[in-house]
Structure 1
């Protein structure tokens, strides 16, 4: 079924001289070709300061562009999720692998946020999980819940424990990883997160739970929550998640074109096993410590 479409707004705070409307979209949003952006402008889908515009129109600082994307068919994803706990301030949800949390990359209504907003219009995620990651998330239902939980997250006061599956492991039974995480160039998205010395500090504590001929089961506890942190950190020490299409040993990017789709790997691609297993925090109203577990899929038990 078609969704309801969406309007994307860009405010032009800084611009190189002489940039046109077509230049802006073709250079900034490289998931579409220059010809595709030209067609959208000529079809009246893109406005400049709320008025139809032309591809060759030159832009100025302080203006704003709006792309009125018409309704589209979204990729199929698992829309069922588990409710693990709830009160007037918080909602604990068990997310399936494959379900995006927030809109983006062709997903709008096939997201956990949209599904929850049908019942809770003001609900807000406190932290995020990648599309391919399953497990527990906490959402705020009240302003008090949102404020208090966000503060705990910023001050690294939440307990976040994950289960991860790698092909092998050469670092002993325990390892602390402190690789910095920042942006790396990507041919279609512009930039994505990866291991880089110029990035922000991040820490992951790894413990081996079991080993077999099929792989190694790890428990990973994180105090920071950089985007794709566990995927990047395990790749950085030479052991990316088994089946991870994007991150390669060393924490860099696999930029091999998929022969079936003719696209580069992106962070939202699935295929790996990573599960948010345990989440602990102080309740935003009572202040009591709460710790919740979400049963992992069979391979991560």
Structure 2
């Protein structure tokens, strides 16, 4: 990527797309280069024609091609007091589980969004980019809910991003989660294979519901530890729909601990008494094989201390019951 202007926010930049940047959407490209700018502002710049490719207007879904000339207007990149400072990137650096020249796997903390937007000035990807200004490419491969912790894939090359997206589409990435469910699980493993549909409620809140006209969704639940009031399960995802585990668990009548949207208020209150301050959902394992080299990648993230402490309290209660 070549730029004819200094890397600053006060002058128009003309950026020539190189092969490694080709294939990505213009909106994602702009999020990378306008650090700290809300996604809503990026779309406004595109809508007003302030961003141009080869001197012409483009839509957010336009995919860049090698040799494209992108006009990036001067933008106030960061609102005062809200940029991802060096501390944010340094904290994330301590949670890197795996890294090579093409890929980074992060143990995302609960309560941290994967990207800025919806009132958030920055997320994981913006903090990483701010802490690695020399990195030519850093993109989210997939997403985790803000309250979910654990393994998050971040591509360091466009070719790796395309490869991983293809593996995800074909179901070749094994994604396993740990979740604490309400109640005592009866029997062994159980598969939930019911379609899910996203809907928008008044006020803009997004909800996901079981619906016959929804998209196919399949989750495989396996009980690990049964407590008096709850059960720790491992969930293997065959699809990756929004809120899939949370909605499928609620569909079984055993919602997740700490789930304020789909959960049980009485159960959540009881878990808060035992110290739970978040959703108990953790992406604990990712595994896939790189098609070209046959290299097997398997990364796991241990449970955070607060979740382990809750399980210890549940076990202690059971022992003294």
Q: TM-score range by the shorter chain?
A: 0.5 to 0.7
Unaligned stretches of 5+ in structure 1?
A: 12-45, 52-61, 255-269
TM-score (norm 1): 0.67
Q: Post-superposition shift, 1:239?
A: 1.2
Alignment of 1:178-189 (within 5 A): 178-189=193-204
Flag as ranges the 4+ runs of structure 1 deviating above 6 A: none
Q: Which has the higher strand share?
A: 1
Superposed CA deviations along residues 35-70 of structure 1, whole A, max 9, x for unmatched, are: xxxxxxxxxxx998479xxxxxxxxxx999xxx999
Match of 2:208 among 190, 193, 198: 193
Superposed CA deviations along residues 103-139 of structure 1, whole A, max 9, x for unmatched, are: 2221122x10101112135211111111100011111
Higher relative contact order (CA 8 A, sep 6+): 1
**Which residue matches 1:163?**
178
**Which residue matches 2:98?**
85
Q: Which has the higher helix share?
A: 2
Unaligned stretches of 5+ in structure 2?
A: 1-34, 51-57, 61-75, 266-276, 313-321
RMSD of aligned residue pairs (Cα, Å): 3.3
Q: Post-superposition shift, 1:189?
A: 1.3
Instruction: Tell me if the contact between 2:219 and 2:245 (Cα under 8 Å) persists in the aligned partners.
Output: yes
What is the distance in 2 between the residues matched to 1:49 and 1:125? 27
Instruction: Tell me if the contact between 1:168 and 1:216 (Cα under 8 Å) persists in the aligned partners.
Output: yes
What is the distance in 2 between the residues matched to 1:143 and 1:5? 22
Instruction: Tell me if the contact between 2:257 and 2:263 (Cα under 8 Å) persists in the aligned partners.
Output: no
Secondary structure of the structure 2 residue equivalent to 1:201:
coil
Instruction: Tell me if the contact between 1:75 and 1:107 (Cα under 8 Å) persists in the aligned partners.
Output: no
Instruction: Tell me if the contact between 2:184 and 2:227 (Cα under 8 Å) persists in the aligned partners.
Output: no
Instruction: Tell me if the contact between 2:137 and 2:158 (Cα under 8 Å) persists in the aligned partners.
Output: no
**Which residue matches 2:289?**
282
Q: Does the C-alpha gap of structure 1 residues 171 and 198 become closer, same or farther in structure 2, counting only changes over 3 Å?
A: farther
TM-score (norm 2): 0.63
**Which residue matches 1:267?**
none
Q: Does the C-alpha gap of structure 1 residues 94 and 172 become closer, same or farther in structure 2, counting only changes over 3 Å?
A: same
Instruction: Tell me if the contact between 1:75 and 1:106 (Cα under 8 Å) persists in the aligned partners.
Output: no
Q: Does the C-alpha gap of structure 1 residues 10 and 239 become closer, same or farther in structure 2, counting only changes over 3 Å?
A: same
Is the counterpart of residue 71 in structure 1 residue 79 in structure 2? Answer: yes
**Which residue matches 2:242?**
227
